[in-house]
Amino acid sequence: MAETTSPEANIEAQAPKEKYCHVKQPREDKNHPSERSDTEGYANATFIKQPLDKDHEELNELLKSLPHDDQGILHVGSDGVVRTLTADRDVLGAVALPPRLLKAMLDILPYSKEAEDKFRGVDGTLVPREQWFHPDKSLLPPPLTAEQKEEGRKFREEHKEVLERRKKEMETEERKVVIISDYDIILK
């Protein structure tokens, strides 16, 4: 027997899904652990669901387009360029962020006054493209040691099924965006 659906159900299925993010809400009590520390208390913080803004949506698409390495990292350089790096810190992919996207990137990370000061006024789009892929080594974190690489290899081996399942989920699902900070880095 053929399955039937109402016209309304067909319209709903065809409509593009609204993209959402979760935004951490400030507390009136500034001494609460989630307000005192960069990392403390997020599990107990209050978040509200709201439509994803265009900057975070654009940032998501850019980050999705970058190549990744199993032992590598995603790194935001003080020059405003986001790079995907190998364990040895070779650059696999890079994208220069304008101030609005740099702010969007930082807003998904715990707040740090030091980071806010470091990135205030930075515009990655002013960095020559050659430097995206061949930056000064001082802009990159140190390479992993042989011991760290071995620990990573063992971890991936022990958790292979979970990591593969999560990778497939990330390829098919929308990235979840959680905004936990409100950096003030854009010069007026």
Residue 80 has pLDDT above 90, yes or no: yes
* Confidence at 22, pLDDT banded by 50, 70, 90: low
Residue 83 has pLDDT above 60, yes or no: yes
**Contact call for residues 92 and 84 (beta carbons, < 8 A):** yes
CA–CA gap between residue 153 and residue 65 (Å, rounded): 25
In a domain, 66, yes or no: yes
Using one digit for the tens of pLDDT, what is the confidence trace for 31-72?
444 444 444 445 555 666 677 788 888 998 898 889 988 888
The CA distances from residue 95 to 30, 120, 134, in Å, are 36, 18, 13
Q: What is the residue range of 91's domain?
A: 54-141
In a domain, 58, yes or no: yes
In a domain, 163, yes or no: no
Please state the domain count of the chain.
1
20-24: strand order across its sheet:
47-51, 20-24, 177-179
- The reported pLDDT for the residue numbered 56 is 84
In a domain, 185, yes or no: no
CA–CA gap between residue 14 and residue 75 (Å, rounded): 37
The CA distances from residue 131 to 18, 29, 53, 69, 142, in Å, are 37, 44, 29, 20, 18
In a domain, 14, yes or no: no
In a domain, 37, yes or no: no
In a domain, 34, yes or no: no
In a domain, 99, yes or no: yes
Using one digit for the tens of pLDDT, what is the confidence trace for 111-140?
889 999 999 999 999 999 999 999 999 999
Query: Model's pTM, two decimal places?
Result: 0.70
Using one digit for the tens of pLDDT, what is the confidence trace for 163-187?
788 777 766 666 667 777 788 888 7
